[in-house]
Structure formats: structure tokens, C-alpha cells
Structure 1
Amino acid sequence: MHIAIIGAGISGLLTALELVEQGCQISIFDQQQAGQAASWAGGGILSPMYPWRYPQAVNTLAQYGKSMYQTWNEKLLPITGIDFEIHDTGMLIFDEDDFDIGLNYAKRNQEPMQQAEYLKHNALAQINPWIDPKFQHAIYFPELSNIRNPRLLQSIVAYLKQHPLVNFVEQTHIIKFQIQSQKVLSAIDQHGNKIHADQFVIATGAWSQHWAQQLNLDIPVHPVQGQMVLFKAPAHWLPTMCMNKVMYLIPRQDGHIVCGSSMAHCGFDTTPDAKTQQNIVDACLEMVPELAQFPIVKQWAGLRPSSPTGVPYIGCIPEINNLWMNVGHFRNGLCMGPASAQLLRQLMLKQSTRIDPMPYSPERLNTEQLIIS
């Protein structure tokens, strides 16, 4: 079976991985370079931030992220030489209003990775000595990790590009489909070239509303900008991830510390804003004042593919038999990505599914748009 995947962010790349491992022939297209949009720009926390604030359907997918990335890393690392750098740091959360629900979440939802401990000041200082003493207590999630998403993307792209069943086509914008009798006959690029395949997958992230008019669907996926700041400290300087009021610090193994993040509705603009940068820096220095001694080495912004509830659309497009989608992951594309791609592969190849596919069905599209209008 030949499958054309449109979009080479984390959703498209993981979908390609899942399908090529089943012997499918894959062509993957991206309007720019593979792995260069929101997937590259994110922080890489392998859990939703405050999972109790999300629908269960988000957490159902996200709970498999870490273990599936560990499995993929073991397979790809010997071939690509690029480590995903899954970093087991744990997470400190200082939002007092979330303490009770956070402490009970793991047991209530049977998610051992979300097990939390309540820490008073002395225990908190032992786990992370750099926390400002004004934070007298926190909840600590020792099982949470982060992944170095640029390395993750580099490894997957390198693996797919060397694979004999994969054809990579970058800098190519697929603009429309040729559809007849409830079937896509071909996809057409910006030069008028026709791409033929047995099945087609839309994995175009924040750009997914592009397809709404032709498919006669309401696709409520829009870009939401998120901005990041990168500090460089000594290796292993900051021992844990930290979060307060939706702002976070994420330490990498080599001492880089990713700080974020913001939310702004500004279309497809990815220009960092100085005021937003200062807000991020101020929030992070409030948690870890000593961070101020280290240089800011980079700043950037990416575009999250927002959706009404953060629950992605995964499955076959209504009334088109060979067109599928894997879009709308909003803030949790990295941690939901592996299970999302696995679910799509199982649906496409008519295999039994690990999870119930109904909450993610694209059949929701028209009804959800009516609800939020």
C-alpha cells in the first residue's frame, strides 16, 4: 500500500514511522523543511501540563508518550546516531490551587506516571536547591520526563530518509485534492503536479483549516503562538522541571534550560515579542532567581495547532474513503504523538486498536463547530 502523508511535523513523522514498520510505502510532503514548525519549537514535557485540566481523551493518549518514545529511541539510535535525550527530571508544581487534585490524580485515573508527593520547604530544597525560599511547599511528580524535541525530530527524519520504502519531498505545498466518488484520486502541489497514492493523510498542524472549504468541513484548528527563551547553565545544574502559573523551566542534560511559555492569537506570525519574552523571564526568575547569572542564548516562537478542547482529530474524513487526518493536538502534540500515530495506523490497516477511537473521530468536526459557535 502506498500512503501519502501531508505534513512532516511530529504527527506526520510518527505516522510515517508506524506505517513504514508495517511494510507500507510512504511519500511524505512538507511545505517547508521537515520537523521545523511547532514540533521543533515546543518544550518537550512528556505529560500534559496540569493533566487534570484536560479532557480524559487527551490524557489517554499522553500516558503512552514516554514509554513509546523509549522504544522508538532504542530502535532508531543505532541507525541514526541521534539520541532523543529523554531526561528523567521529575516536575515541581507550585500552584497551590492544584495541590489537592494533583496529589489525587494518579490514583483516581490509574496513571502511575502521574504519582505526586507533597513537599514542605526542607524536602523541596533537597530535591532542587535553586528554588526561591518564598516557595514554602510544592507537589513533586518524580516520574515525569522531558524529551529534547529537536533531537527527536532529527533522528526520525534521518531514519525515514534512509529507509528504502520512504520518499521525502520537502519545500512542496500540497494545495488541493482531486476527489471523485468519495475517493481521493490524487493530491496536487503548487506546481500542478499530481501525486497518486492509495491512501492520503492530513497532518498539517496549525495549517489544517486550509482543507475546510474543499472538504466542506468545519475544521476548528487555528494557530496559537507560543514563545520560548533558552538559557545556558552548566550541565545538570537545574535538577528538576519547574512550573508555576503555566510558566515552566525544562532542563536539558547539557545545561540548556528551556523557559516558556506564552499564548497569543496572531495568525501565522512567529516573531518573538520583547514584552512576552520579559514576562517569561520574570516568571522563571521568580521560581529560580539564580538563573539570572546565566546567558540567554536563544529565543523563538512556534505555532500550536489549537482545537476547541485540545482533543485531536484522528481517523478517516467523513464521506471520503481514503483520506485520513491526525491534527489538532494543541499544546500536547509531542506527548500525544506516539499513541495518536499508532491509533491512526491501526485504523488505516484495519487492526485492533489499543484505545477507543471514538473520542478522536473526525465525525466530531461539524458537531463541535456548532457547539462552540
Structure 2
Amino acid sequence: MVKQVAIIGGGIVGATAAFYLSFLQGNENIHVTLFDEGTGQATKAAAGIISPWLSKRRNKRWYALAKRGAELYPTLVHDAQLSTQAYQQTGTIVTRKNHDDLLALYHEAKIKEQHTSAMGQVELLSAEAVKRRLPLLTDAPEGIFVSGGARIDGGHFVSELLKRASDNNLLIKHERVSLTQNGDLHTSEGQKHFDTVIIATGAWMHESLQPLGLNVKVRPQKGQLIDLTVKMPHKWQNMPVMMPEGSSDIIPFNGGKLVIGATHENDEGFDLSPQPAAKQQLLDNASVFINTLTAAQVSDMRVGTRAYTEDFAPFFGAVPAQPNYLIGGGLGSSGLTPGPMIGYFLAQAVFGREITHWQDYTLPVSQYVD
């Protein structure tokens, strides 16, 4: 008998879960329907950097999950045959304002390099060396280069993942659905029952689980990014991304697209309107390093809504006392890094495979769901 699985939410968690449910052994016994309206989705609005190893965050569970996520990416990209437009390992340049702080971080990175193969090689770069790696910079800082770092375009990434899954056992419905009190789904075709439901609705998860009498402790955060068109010679291909301390990430893509972001706005709720002040702030942040940028080069502004928990940590697992409902969320601004690992874990759970050591990556779901 074919198991009927629903996924609500087509962001990084839902899309990865959908792909693995179409790819892992046993997929022939599963049919997946993914419901996603798409409005405000953080992943589709995001372009980011996959490079968690030198993060200032000291949450051990978050780091373990993010580290596994970064390690998963090359395999996932290979298995799903994703394009370089979606993901490319170009290396990351991390900076610090203080030279002594940079040296301390470099020594920490060299220690991690010995037992973290996904990091690749670690190099301490002078400002001149950074400029050679990122020639579009006019005022380059010194930094640390981590060759295993990568850039990702969230929209392309989930779109390509879902296309691969659709070639097998996935049906996509572009609509907003809701749970009933008995756990079925209200859809445009009426009420439907599924054997397992994965709920990955990000900042909207509180609303999603209310019909089950559950309160999810997540809050929305608005994030805005800008795309700029920059004239880049053909030789400026595959440039690394840069994570300047205390400023906006600089993410160059081949073909002359430059992404700067992102903002972190806690008091905007679910508002998705782009703000001129945010655009100017992002442009100013980038101009510290690239003083030739102008507002006329801004070609697009992306806006999405992230989900945050009280302890700024993601969570995933089965809903308490209701094992047929699986959730994953609270990813925050770094969600592109741990998101695929959560999707993978949830897919394994659908197959009935026990996931050992979940406690290494997340607190119990009951910590975030009343």
C-alpha cells in the first residue's frame, strides 16, 4: 500500500524533505503532495553563504546541525544534479575589524581544519590577497579564506530540488491549506487525509498548528536583500563570497549579479514591502568595500519572513503525542545552512528509520510547542 505524505511549505526544509522522499530507498511506496502558496517564504527571497565553521554563535547544538548541513550540501547537489546557479562552492572570506581578533580566529580555524574535512583549506590573507581573490572590491580588508565555503541562491535551489522530486513521486499544489481539528487538510479539492504530514511553514507555523490545539513559540523577522548589476570581466568568474564582521554579506554570482544582504527587522511582522531605507543601508554597507556602487545598479530587492525561536535555535521532530505530524522550523537568518539536514532527518522519519542522537542537534520539540 502506498503511503500518502503531505508537506506544507516548500522552503528549504520542505523542498529537501520532498527530494529525499523521492530519492531514498523505499520511495516507490510513498506518494508526496507538497502544498505551498509561496507568499513571504524566506528561502525563495534569500541568497546566502554556506560556511558555518567560523561563526560567533556558541550554541553547540546549532553548530553540530549547521556543520552537518554544510557537509551534506555537496552530496545533495550531486544527487539532485543541481546547477551552479543554485549552489557553488567558491570559498568564503571571513573578516574581523581588529587584526589580533583575526589572528585568533585564524588559529581557531586551523585547529578545526584538522578534523573538519568539509572546510577545505584555510588561509590567512592580506588585504592585497583578498583583493586578488575578489577583484571587484575597491577597499579590501584582510581576512581568512575557507575553501569549503559556498554561495547559494535559495529560490533556484528549492525550485530545482522540487523539479527533481516531481520527476518521481511528488505532486505540487500552489495553494494555501490548513489543518482541521482532527488532523486532515482543508484543500481546494475538499478535506483530505494523509498518513503523515510534514509542517515546514516557517514563521507561519504558529497559525498552522493552532487547529490541533498547539501553540508554537516562533516569531517573524523581516529580511531584505538587494541585487545589483555589476560589470564583471569574464575572468572574474567563481569569486568567493565575503562575510565582513558587523556588516552585510557580499555575494557575487557569475554573469554580473551581486547580492548584498540581509537586514534583520524584528518589528515589521509579516510586512513584505521593500523599504527604501533598508535598500540604502545595504548599499552603504557594501560601498565601504566597493566604493563604485550606485543606486542605479540595484536591479531587484528581495523580501522574506524568517522564523525565530526564543533561544534562536531551530527545532525539528514529531509533534508531542502525535507522531504522524512532523515539524521543522525556527531557522532564523542562517536557515539555508541547517535546513537541508532537517529536511533529510524528517524524510528518514517518514520512512520509519530511527534517527539516533537527535538530541545532539535540537532540544525536544516540546520546548517550542505547548
TM-score after normalising by structure 2:
0.85
CA offsets, 1:216-243, max 9 Å, x none? 4331222211111111222564832122
The within-5 A match list for 1:187-226 is 187-189=185-187, 193-226=190-223
Work out whether residues 116 and 142 of structure 1, in 8 Å CA contact, stay in contact via their aligned partners in 2. yes
Aligned to 2:264: 263
Q: In the aligned structure 2, how far is the partner of 1:227 from the partner of 1:2?
A: 36
Aligned to 2:32: 26
Alignment: residue pair count: 353
| One-letter code aligned to 2:48 | G
The structural deviation recorded for 1:325 is 0.3
Q: In the aligned structure 2, how far is the partner of 1:350 from the partner of 1:60?
A: 23
The within-5 A match list for 1:1-373 is 1-21=3-23, 22-23=26-27, 24-32=30-38, 37-48=41-52, 51-77=55-81, 83-96=84-97, 99-100=102-103, 102-103=105-106, 104-105=108-109, 107-108=111-112, 110-114=115-119, 116-133=122-139, 135=141, 137-163=142-168, 165-171=169-175, 173-179=176-182, 184=183, 186-189=184-187, 193-233=190-230, 234=232, 235=234, 237=236, 239-244=239-244, 245-265=246-266, 266-292=268-294, 295-353=297-355, 355-357=357-359, 359-360=361-362, 361-366=364-369
The structural deviation recorded for 1:335 is 1.6
The structural deviation recorded for 1:204 is 0.5
The structural deviation recorded for 1:358 is 5.5
The structural deviation recorded for 1:58 is 2.1
The structural deviation recorded for 1:3 is 1.1
- Worse-matched range after superposition: 334-343 or 62-71: 62-71
Q: In the aligned structure 2, how far is the partner of 1:195 from the partner of 1:101?
A: 56
Secondary structure of 1:263's partner? coil
Q: In the aligned structure 2, how far is the partner of 1:60 from the partner of 1:2?
A: 32
The structural deviation recorded for 1:178 is 3.4
Q: In the aligned structure 2, how far is the partner of 1:222 from the partner of 1:243?
A: 26
Work out whether residues 87 and 252 of structure 1, in 8 Å CA contact, stay in contact via their aligned partners in 2. no
- Worse-matched range after superposition: 250-259 or 108-117: 108-117
Unpaired stretches in structure 1, ≥5 consecutive residues: 368-373
Q: In the aligned structure 2, how far is the partner of 1:280 from the partner of 1:232?
A: 15
Among all aligned residue pairs of Structure 1 and Structure 2, give the percentage whose two residues are the same amino acid: 22
Secondary structure of 1:146's partner? strand
Q: In the aligned structure 1, how far is the partner of 2:334 from the partner of 2:48?
A: 9
- Worse-matched range after superposition: 307-316 or 292-301: 292-301
Work out whether residues 91 and 240 of structure 2, in 8 Å CA contact, stay in contact via their aligned partners in 1. yes
Call closer, same or farther: CA 1:92–1:17 in 2, change over 3 Å: same
The structural deviation recorded for 1:359 is 4.1
Call closer, same or farther: CA 1:160–1:134 in 2, change over 3 Å: closer
Secondary structure of 2:32's partner? strand
Work out whether residues 38 and 174 of structure 2, in 8 Å CA contact, stay in contact via their aligned partners in 1. yes
| One-letter code aligned to 1:152 | F
The structural deviation recorded for 1:258 is 0.6
Work out whether residues 128 and 140 of structure 2, in 8 Å CA contact, stay in contact via their aligned partners in 1. no
Secondary structure of 1:334's partner? coil
| One-letter code aligned to 2:75 | T
Work out whether residues 217 and 369 of structure 2, in 8 Å CA contact, stay in contact via their aligned partners in 1. no
- Worse-matched range after superposition: 6-15 or 294-303: 294-303
| One-letter code aligned to 1:194 | Q
The structural deviation recorded for 1:346 is 2.5
The structural deviation recorded for 1:117 is 3.0
Give the RMSD, CA atoms, in angstroms. Answer: 2.8
| One-letter code aligned to 2:42 | A
Q: In the aligned structure 1, how far is the partner of 2:117 from the partner of 2:146?
A: 10
Call closer, same or farther: CA 1:170–1:85 in 2, change over 3 Å: closer
CA offsets, 1:66-94, max 9 Å, x none? 453333333333xxx85554323322233
Unpaired stretches in structure 2, ≥5 consecutive residues: none
| One-letter code aligned to 1:197 | F
Q: In the aligned structure 2, how far is the partner of 1:71 from the partner of 1:225?
A: 31
TM-score after normalising by structure 1:
0.84
Q: In the aligned structure 2, how far is the partner of 1:337 from the partner of 1:271?
A: 25
CA offsets, 1:153-205, max 9 Å, x none? 22122223332x2222112x2222333xxxx3x2223x582111111111101
- Worse-matched range after superposition: 50-59 or 313-322: 50-59
